[in-house]
Amino acid sequence: MPLQPDLDLKTYLSKKREMVDAALKDYLPEPEGLTSDLIEAMRYSLFAGGKRLRPILCLAGADAVGPLEKDPLPVACALELIHTYSLIHDDLPLMDDDDLRRGKPTSHKVFGEPMALLAGDGLLTEAFRLMTSPEMSVRISADRLLRVIRLIAHAAGYGGMVGGQAVDIQWEGRKADLQVVKFMHTHKTGALITASVVSGAMLGGAGESEISAITAYGEHIGLAFQIADDILDIEGDSAALGKRVGADIQKGKMTYPAVLGMEESKDIQNTLVQTAIQDLRPFGSSAEPLRQIARYIIERKT
Amino acid sequence: MPLQPDLDLKTYLSKKREMVDAALKDYLPEPEGLTSDLIEAMRYSLFAGGKRLRPILCLAGADAVGPLEKDPLPVACALELIHTYSLIHDDLPLMDDDDLRRGKPTSHKVFGEPMALLAGDGLLTEAFRLMTSPEMSVRISADRLLRVIRLIAHAAGYGGMVGGQAVDIQWEGRKADLQVVKFMHTHKTGALITASVVSGAMLGGAGESEISAITAYGEHIGLAFQIADDILDIEGDSAALGKRVGADIQKGKMTYPAVLGMEESKDIQNTLVQTAIQDLRPFGSSAEPLRQIARYIIERKT
């Protein structure tokens, strides 16, 4: 895809989103046989109207370093499967106990708690099966693919997302300092966002210095994304978000605005986005989508 | 390891178990920092006295085709991580609601439900990180390793273990026919057992005909293992098992004895083990551990 500095982000995002949605439909089986309810539960959450930010970051990371087209799609989709599993498990009564997600009843409300748990487990496991599909190894070297899978497993596991979740629940209702909140944010959300864009760059054939630059970009937008989420939970619009506003405060969740106040939180997210854009200096116009996505991350309403 | 037809299974199993335990201790981090409780929860269930059957099957599968020694250990340990995650999630109040496992309080009893959920998620994810460790790719070709990871992800996911679990909960308290019970058993337990021994053989360098033979062996012992579990739930010793006997019946779980009666169930498990041993005819004395493990699977008391 030839990219222009005057790129229209909205068109870029919707084109990529369509590509991801089509691939996801293709990869997930039709519900049939004895496990049809499980498959239906997996599909229900996967097609509940997500922004597809992580897959798009993966594709845009690949675009930044070379013309790959559809090659990274299995990895891009695997990232969405991992994100979706984490939402299903988060929403369970034993965790956040949320009834609504993107304006729709959450998985356990529709399928019951046992099936929701298993749908999450199934999506997480399927993500790794998808990344090892023979389709991937046709154009990507097996060594590079193994490195990508390891990066994503690290970002999703105890050293990343699951670790951030654990800290989140342990500090609920307690007064945390900035160090703890930053740890939570960079692990709970930041790690998988960073891995999304870096995995795309790796699949696109990035060299080590390009990987370093994209990693820095990912870390900066990852933290900005979660701070923006914190702010949306206070200033956002319930209808647009498809969930209650103010839920974080009610649950005693530690957030940037709670620790630093609204004004300083907004300053920090703006600085993070500027820094992320500077991280992309080694890249030319091919990284224009990533630059615009950095801005979009703090300007979005949902 | 040179293998003899007069192999002492007990020594073989305990040697391999020690090897696996040492590697698991090595791979799992020490609990420290903000995520120390999560790591502790992951380690608690991992070192709660499991038989290490899946890792041992993986190592024995490798032994059957060639002298590999410790090479398959990361994959062998990953299989134990996957097995352990499935037990933690199964024991949750929203699933089987079990307080005891191997004579010890279950994860959620010790760490609370949210941390138990996350410990399971963390173990499953770490399994895939472990399999992609640089240590693996030194002696195993990356292409072969990707095939092994795909095999295991399939066996653990909706097409295997998670699928079997889904059918299990949906049929609880309902009268199932043999077809449903067989599906449940081959998926819930059989799939990962089969993948364990096949992954070992693949890592050991097995050719396609050897892989087919070992797959047939794995499928036969996998089903025999679950039927033996059903029988132990009725005829077993609570103290030795470390859990209540009769729990399956109480929960209205469908089992082979419930559908076919005890005598026919025992006939079937014996036939399965005989067939599994015949599946190994292409192999010489190197497959002696696998032959003896097949017998052990239905003779075990725990």
Domain residue extents for chain A: 9-299
Complex ipTM, two decimals? 0.95
pLDDT of residue B290: 97
Q: Which of A32, A35, A75, A136 to mutate to test the interface with B (most CBs of B within 10 A)?
A: A35
**Inter-chain touch A146–B137, beta carbons under 8 Å:** yes
Question: How many CB pairs below 8 Å do chains A and B form together?
Answer: 149
Q: What percent of chain A has pLDDT over 90?
A: 79
Arch. (CATH architecture) of B9-299: Orthogonal Bundle (1.10)
- pLDDT tens digits for A111-138? 999 999 999 999 999 999 999 998 887 7
- pLDDT tens digits for A271-297? 999 999 999 999 999 999 999 999 999
Out of B39, B142, B162, name the one closest to residue A122 (CB).
B162
Q: What is the pTM of this model?
A: 0.96
B-chain residue closest to A34, CA distance: B167
- pLDDT tens digits for A18-74? 999 999 999 998 988 999 999 999 999 999 989 999 999 999 999 999 876 568 999
B-chain residue closest to A126, CA distance: B157
- pLDDT tens digits for A8-27? 999 999 999 999 999 999 99
A-chain residue closest to B130, CA distance: A150
DSSP state letters, chain A = ----TT--HHHHHHHHHHHHHHHHHHHSPPP-GGGHHHHHHHHHHHTS----HHHHHHHHHHHHHS--TTTTHHHHHHHHHHHHHHHHHHHSTTTT--SEETTEE-HHHHH-HHHHHHHHHHHHHHHHHHHT-HHHHTTS-HHHHHHHHHHHHHHHSTTTHHHHHHHHHHHTTS---HHHHHHHHIIIIIHHHHHHHHHHHHHTT--HHHHHHHHHHHHHHHHHHHHHHHHHHHHS-HHHHTS-TTHHHHTT---HHHHH-HHHHHHHHHHHHHHHHHHTTT--GGGHHHHHHHHHHHH---
pLDDT of residue B1: 42
